[in-house]
Structure 1
Amino acid sequence: MPECDHCGAHVSDQFARVFADERGHIRACPNCSANAGIAEVSRERAQKV
């Protein structure tokens, strides 16, 4: 089962298909960011790496 690279929480396969980047990294999930801002937080965290 996929998990968030930021907090380690498990996420669904469907969530991973939508929010993972092209390498399969999931940088934000409902457990570590607000639902409305997951895409934005993912982009911000990806830029810091």
Structure 2
Amino acid sequence: MPSCDNCGSHVSEQFARVFADEHGEILACVNCSANAGIAEEAKRRAQKP
């Protein structure tokens, strides 16, 4: 089962297909980010060194 790489919460396969990056990493989910900003938060977290 896929999980958020930021907080470790389990996410659905469908969520992973939509929000995972090209490496399969899920950098934000509904448990650690606002629903409306998941994609933006994932991009921001990916840019951190």
Structure 1 residues 7-26: aligned runs within 5 Å: 7-26=7-26
User: How many pairs align?
Assistant: 49
Percent sequence identity over aligned pairs:
73
Question: RMSD of aligned C-alpha atoms?
Answer: 0.6
The two structures have a TM-score, normalised by structure 1, of 0.98
Stretches of structure 1 that go unaligned for 5 or more consecutive residues are none
CA drift of 1:18 comes to: 0.2
Q: TM-score, normalised by structure 2?
A: 0.98
4+ aligned runs moved over 4 Å, structure 1? none
